[in-house]
Structure formats: structure tokens, C-alpha cells
């Protein structure tokens, strides 16, 4: 996968005066207020990525890292006996933790 430029649209507000503004930024450099030169804080930021297709591909890849099937499918695949076994282990684990703490 190709690298996506890490540009962000950052909304900032001054810590001292009424100034608010937004700008495209890269990196984590601190910015000062253009009015009073006090430090500013970020109150919102959005990642800017140049190519929507690249974003879509990236999102799809992240989604698949967790697997394509959910817990319900897994539960259906397991036998009732195996499910009971898992549930018993979970209950025992909880009990152990409660006894200790
Ligand atoms: Zn200011």
C-alpha cells in the first residue's frame, strides 16, 4: 500500500483571546495565536488524504484485520458442548479474579 501524506485540517483556538482558526498542518508543531501570540489548543482535527480511492482501500484493509465473520457465526459453528466449556472457563476465570481482588 502506498503512503498517504499526513496532512491534517486543524481547528485551533487561542488559550487567551477570542481567536479561532483552521489551517492545514503536518507534524505536531505548536502554533501560536496570530493575534496575541499565546499558545493555541486544538479543538478539532481532520485527516486530509489526497486520494479517496487510497482511503477506501486502507479502510477495507483495516476492516479485514478483525476477520470477515463476527462472533455470531463463530457461535453457530461451535457445538453446544464446546460453548458450554468456554462459558465454564469464563466463569472460572471471573471467579478466580474476584477471589484474588
Ligand atoms: Zn490569542
Reported confidence tier of residue 59, pLDDT bands at 50, 70, 90: confident
Per-residue pLDDT tens for 65-90?
Answer: 656 566 677 777 788 898 999 999 99
- Please report the pLDDT score of residue 36 as a whole number: 97
DSSP readout, 53-71?
HHHHHHHHHHHHHT-SS-H
For β-strands 40-48 and 20-26, DSSP reports them as unpaired
CA of 48 to the centre of ligand 1 (A): 26
The answer regarding whether domain 1-51 maps to CATH 3.40.50.150 reads no
**Which residues lie at CB < 5 A from ion ligand 1?**
14, 16-17, 19, 33, 35-36, 38
Burial 82-101 (b: 16+ CB within 10 A, else e): eeeeeeeeeeeeeeeeeeee
Q: How far apart are CA 92 and CA 100, in angstroms?
A: 12
The full set of domain ranges for the chain reads: 1-51, 69-101
CA of 37 to the centre of ligand 1 (A): 6
CA of 39 to the centre of ligand 1 (A): 8
Q: How far apart are CA 61 and CA 68, in angstroms?
A: 11
| DSSP one-letter code for 26 | E
3 phi and psi angles, rounded to 5 deg: -70, 145
Per-residue pLDDT tens for 19-39?
Answer: 999 999 988 788 999 999 999
Amino acid at each position: 500500500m502506498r503512503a498517504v501524506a499526513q496532512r491534517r485540517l486543524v481547528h485551533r483556538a487561542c488559550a487567551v483571546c477570542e481567536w479561532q482558526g483552521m489551517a492545514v498542518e503536518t507534524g505536531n508543531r505548536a502554533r501560536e495565536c496570530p493575534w496575541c501570540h499565546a499558545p493555541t489548543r486544538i479543538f478539532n482535527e481532520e485527516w486530509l488524504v489526497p486520494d479517496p480511492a487510497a482511503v477506501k482501500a486502507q479502510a477495507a484493509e483495516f476492516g479485514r484485520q478483525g476477520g470477515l465473520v463476527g462472533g455470531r457465526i463463530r457461535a453457530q459453528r461451535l457445538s453446544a458442548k464446546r460453548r458450554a466449556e468456554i462459558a465454564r472457563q469464563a466463569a472460572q476465570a471471573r471467579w478466580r479474579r474476584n477471589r484474588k481482588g
